[in-house]
Amino acid sequence: MTAQKYLAGRAVAAQRTWARSIPGRVEFFSSQGSAAPPRLPVVALPGVDDSYPPQKKSFMMLKYMHDRYLDKYEWFMRADDDVYIKGEGALVSPLLGGREKIRTPLSSPPSSLCVPEPIVQGG
């Protein structure tokens, strides 16, 4: 998710770097009327502005995903425009969950892929 003012900077930088390593589709969700830079897949969500915190934008993004991709993908990831994602392991990593600062596997056998890593939550 991003705001119109970050499309030409943060979103383009993500598209040129980590987004290339993500298996599947990467789209940038922004506010209504957002103008997309060339070759950047932007979804301008109707009725959504760039106010913070972006609860409405988050829920409208989920609705968009549900309406268009529910039966086409097994999982999706929501990320802000100021993250870097290591996409190389996206398909082999276990499903993680919980509210702890160190996430733990949700019901997968122990393996070297299940080593919990610290994460940063919030801004």
CA distance 61 to 39: 20
Confidence of residue 101 (pLDDT cuts 50, 70, 90): very low
Tokens in use for 37?
């830079």
- Distance separating the N- and C-terminal Cα atoms of the chain: 14
The residues, any chain, with a CB within 8 Å of residue 104's CB and separated by 6 or more, are 96, 97, 98, 116
What predicted TM-score, i.e. pTM, was given to this entire model? Answer: 0.72
Percent of the chain with pLDDT over 70: 72
Q: Where are the domains of the chain?
A: 4-92, 95-123
Neighbours of 31 (CB within 10 A): 23
